[in-house]
A and B are shown apart, each in its own frame.
Chain A
Amino acid sequence: DAGVTQSPTHLIKTRGQQVTLRCSPKSGHDTVSWYQQALGQEPQFIFQYYEEEERQRGNFPDRFSGHQFPNYSSELNVNALLLGDSALYLCASTPLLDARTTDTQYFGPGTRLTVL
């Protein structure tokens, strides 16, 4: 049973560019959350997707947007990249609502984004 997977593992972009990160949730999970973790800091919540809609959002600008597909996978898009967007981007998934006994989130390995 595959866990949460993310792609790519690493990527390098320049300021002003746009980037798309991808996440496939764990089998049997329908909710996807995204977090940003700057170097040496704790993860910060960006947003969460459920039933293909953004359900909850943290304190991040509109340059950060997302999408969830019918198969529950998700994308995180960041426009007009800034140097400060350099971070580890983490995806976490939560079990299907009808099978859920807790809201435990399970994390993927992350995508390391470097903005030059």
Chain B
Amino acid sequence: DAKTTQPPSMDCAEGRAANLPCNHSTISGNEYVYWYRQIHSQGPQYIIHGLKNNETNEMASLIITEDRKSSTLILPHATLRDTAVYYCIVRADNNAGNMLTFGGGTRLMVKP
């Protein structure tokens, strides 16, 4: 699976949008971009994933560049409960049971 690069930490003001970038310049055509987050000492929580089109769900939006070499996770109105480590993971989605390879992630701190 392709490797991802994320900033180690970011701050965001409560109520503002949090934009978390991820670089995945070696992504292959059959690889999806997945985002998970992990609040302290809890299991990772699935947020969203996409292949090449932008995606939105009740938690977040995922914007993938046209060349697919980078993406941005957007939390439209960050709250204190969004403070967590956010992981961007690239992997094939082919029902072959591919494992998740976590990188260091971005530690997002939402401040009042």
Contacts and interface: CB of A to CB of B under 8 A. Distances in A.
Asked if A pairs with B, the answer is: yes
A29 B41 CA distance: 24
Nearest to A50: B97
Nearest to B100: A105
A42 B103 contact: yes
Contact of B102 (A42, A97, A103): A42
Contacts of B93: 102-103
Interface size class of B (residues with CB under 8 A): 20 to 34
A50 B43 CA distance: 21
Interface in A18-36: 31, 33, 35
Interface in B88-112: 91, 93-105
B43 A48 contact: no
Interface stretch (B19-27, B44-52, B67-75): B44-52
Contacts, number: 63
A56 interface: yes
A107 B45 contact: yes
A60 B38 CA distance: 23
A110 interface: yes
Interface size class of A (residues with CB under 8 A): 20 to 34
Contacts of A43: 44, 100, 102
Contacts of B97: 31, 33, 48, 50, 55-56, 94, 103
Contact of B95 (A42, A88, A100, A108): A100
Contacts of B41: 88, 110, 112
Contact of B49 (A35, A48, A94, A102): A102
Contacts of A90: 43-44
Contacts of B103: 42
Interface in A88-106: 88, 90, 92, 94, 97, 100, 102-106
A80 to B, nearest CB: 24
6 contacts: A43-B44, A88-B41, A103-B98, A106-B46, A107-B44, A109-B43
Interface of B: 32, 34, 36, 41-46, 49, 87, 91, 93-105
4 A-B pairs closest in CB distance = A107-B43, A42-B102, A45-B99, A107-B44
